[in-house]
Amino acid sequence: MTKVTGIGGIFFKCNDPTKVKDWYKENLAINTDQWGSCFEWRQADDGVKKGFTQWSPMANNSEFFGDQEFMINYRVDNIEALVKELKLSGITILDNIETYEYGKFVHILDAEGKKVELWEPIDEEFDKIVGGRTK
């Protein structure tokens, strides 16, 4: 079975994303860009390789994750195989796998109908485009 390898991102709604990002920057030293911040870390099985977790405050009217207050993005090993397994288990797959230079994404519903994002990252490419970083 394919598996989740970590948290790829946490996205949450707020009244004023800029104000929230500024507050976190001023009070907790989280460096931000237009998307939020990216936490860089080293992978457990290969300490030379970087990994990333995205932190993103989003406007209350964001449609990115419906009417939920937050959405978690999970890093996965092999998104195609995982989606096949999930379909066989009757899990709702909300969209087709989308491919970008920094990885592949798909959205599913969990046991309570909450939207979850799965990401098969290409960390080397993500590293090239990430702006705000908190190490």
Cα–Cα distance, 135 to 133 (Å, whole number): 6
Residue 2's nearest CA partner among 107, 82, 103 is: 82
Residue 131 pLDDT > 90: no
Residue 46 pLDDT > 90: no
Q: Which residue range is the domain that position 53 belongs to?
A: 4-130
**Would you say residue 97 lies in a domain?**
yes
**Would you say residue 135 lies in a domain?**
no
**Would you say residue 43 lies in a domain?**
yes
Domains identified in the chain, total number: 1
- 124: which 2 tokens? 């080397």
What band does 127 get if pLDDT is binned at 50, 70 and 90? Answer: confident
**Would you say residue 121 lies in a domain?**
yes
Query: For the whole prediction, is pTM greater than 0.75?
Result: yes
Residue 135 pLDDT > 90: no
- 83: which 2 tokens? 């989606």
Helices (H), 12-68: 17-28
Chain centroid offset of residue 64 CA: 12
The letter for the amino acid at 79 is I
**Rounded mean pLDDT of 95-120?**
96
Q: Determine phi and psi for 51, rounding to 5 degrees.
A: -135, 165
**Would you say residue 13 lies in a domain?**
yes
**Would you say residue 58 lies in a domain?**
yes
**Would you say residue 117 lies in a domain?**
yes
**Would you say residue 69 lies in a domain?**
yes
Q: Residue 28: which CATH number?
A: 3.10.180.10
Helices (H), 46-122: 79-88
